[in-house]
Every structure is written in C-alpha cells, then in structure tokens.
Structure 1
Amino acid sequence: MNGPEISSLPEGMQRVAQVLRASGHAHLPQRLDDAARTAQQAADALGVQLGQIAKSIIFRRREDDVAVLVVTSGDRRVDEAKVQSLVGVIGRADADFVKSRTGFAIGGVAPVAHASAPVTLIDRELFRFDEIWAAAGHPHGVFRLQPADLERLTGAPVVDVVQGGA
C-alpha cells in the first residue's frame, strides 16, 4: 500500500497506516467488505478463531480522566478489578469519551495512533496465537500482526487482566 492508496482510506485508517508504515510493520490495514464492530464479526469476516482478534477495550481512569486501553483476546472478558490493581480506579467509557480520547469510534478502536496517548495494557492471552488481528481505526478496517508486534508498537506491558486468568 503506497501513499495514494493510504490517502483513499478513511481518516482513522490513514492514521493507523501511517503509524504502521513508520514503525516498519509488515502489514498495513485492510478494508473488510462488512463492518466488524465486534470481535465475533471480525473473526467471521477473516475466517480466524475468535481468540485471534485483539479487541481494544477503553476505560476511563477516574483520578485523571485518562483513557485506559486494554487489548485482549476476543474470546476473553476483561476483569476490571485486575485492571484497577494496575492503573487505579476505572469506570466505563461512553462513546463520546472513546471518540474524544482515541479519535476512533467504538468498533474501530485501534491499539495505535490514538488522539491522546492512553495507558495501555496487553493481555497475555493474546500470546496463545502466532497471528492476531486488530482494528485499524474504522469498523471496516483491520490489520494483521503477531502478539510481540503489539508489544513493540505500543510499548505496553503484557499482563493478566482477564477473568479466570492466573
């Protein structure tokens, strides 16, 4: 994907593509025919396991109103108590908060290229897979990566933040 191809993408996907290109990531965003607003929709569209979808969950840290991004496997549920033990008290983030802090609409929140840098945590459950897929800034956009790429691209720690984990 070269410059003109990137410029034809929706704005959020352009931001993600620029970050991926600048970091030397091998896989730029792809556009899906149908929206993949949920991990299940993305897995179905890509023909992969639900767990291979790196879903981005945004919380609102109460003490300073900073976005907390938890990237976890599509087949897992975030344990908010575990997240709070790492970053402080969190609450739910509504659509306006998500859009204002990340620059992305819910259903297209990428793990990179946020409007404001979030506190980011990567759940270790993603490392069960050699290949994962993440949202690319738009409900129709995804990109392929390996779990270690996610760690490299975000600089975030790999932790246990899901229900039922050790």
Structure 2
Amino acid sequence: MSKSLNRVLADAEARGLTLAPVRLEAGTLTAQAAADAVGTSADQIVKSIVLRSPDSGEHVLFLTAGGNYVCIDKAARVAGMALEKADAASIRAVTGFAIGGVSPFGHATPLRTWLDPKVMTYATVWAAAGTPHHVFEIAPPVLKRATGAAEADFTR
C-alpha cells in the first residue's frame, strides 16, 4: 500500500472514520473517469482543488462537486485574500499528494477548507484517497465534519 494512502487511512482513523478505499485501474485524473469507474455521477465525485495566495503563499482547499468548477474570484472572496492556481510542486509540498490524488484530509500541512453546497445534496460522495488510483465513499455530513470545511459559494 502506498505511503499516501496509508497517511489518508491513518488520518481518517484519527478522526474516528473507517474508510474502505477502492482501487481504480483507470485512475481518478478526471471526475468523470472516477464516476464511470465507481458507477455514479460526476457530481458525486468530490474534487480537491488547492489554490494559493500570491501574497502570503498560503494554500487553501476547495472541495467541489465533480461537475462544478471553482471560480477563482469567488474563492478569493470566500478566503478573504487574492488567490491563484497552485502549481503541482507546491500542491505536493503542502498536501503530500500528487494532483489527481489529493484527498480532503491527511495533508502534510493543515489547510483552511471550504465545501461546495452541491456536495451536501447527495447521500454519499466519493473522494480521492491520496493517490490517483484510490477513492473512498463517504456521507457528505461526515466529510464536512472530518475536514472542518465551511460551506460556501465558490463555483461558476
């Protein structure tokens, strides 16, 4: 088992959660690919989008329904600071995960986190489990509580 997956499972356990990760041979590089693999809709795939402040270098996390896109201007208003796309190297340095495998928790560094309200409309959702090939299923209220995410409007 990969170190990243182990870190997600250990962090989940520390938060009182027991996850059952599923390995997807095709990977989770797109929400639609992950949805097709687990037999759900793209919106039931939670994308972990990491943005950074060009001023402070702080990275923040936006958890969004797979069919939605983060609007950087709206996200900046929610976070209270200017934001830009984070590069792959800084995402890996801050979260410990490669793009396509960024989990909602288990990060190398704690991140302020916001949640797309659309995620809360489903009984269960799926999120990356630390690798581009692993996902886990979780109830949205449990995800919200585990991440400490605040619901906010940041999508376009």
RMSD of aligned residue pairs (Cα, Å): 1.1
Contact 2:78 2:154 in 1 (8 A): no
Instruction: Please tell me the residue identity of whatever aligns with 2:58.
Output: V
Pick one of 37, 40, 43 that aligns with 2:32.
40
CA distance in 2, matches of 1:68, 1:10: 24
How many percent of aligned residue pairs carry the same amino acid? 38
Q: State the shift of 1:149 in Å.
A: 1.1
How many residues align? The count is: 155
Q: State the shift of 1:161 in Å.
A: 1.1
Q: Please show how residues 2-151 of structure 1 align to structure 2 within 5 Å.
A: 9-87=1-79, 88-151=81-144
Based on CA coordinates, which of the two structures has the bigger radius of gyration?
1
Instruction: Give the ranges of 4+ consecutive aligned residues of structure 1 lying more than 6 Å apart after TM superposition.
Output: none
1:5 equivalent in structure 2: none
CA distance in 1, matches of 2:140, 2:47: 12
Structure 2 spans left out of the alignment, 5+ residues: none
Secondary structure in structure 2 of the residue aligned to 1:72: strand
CA distance in 2, matches of 1:130, 1:79: 25
1:3 equivalent in structure 2: none
Question: TM-score, normalised to structure 1's length?
Answer: 0.89
C-alpha offsets along residues 23-56 of structure 1, whole Å, 9 cap, x if unaligned?
A: 2224332222221111111001101011000001
Instruction: Please tell me the residue identity of whatever aligns with 1:34.
Output: A
Pick one of 145, 149, 153 that aligns with 2:146.
153
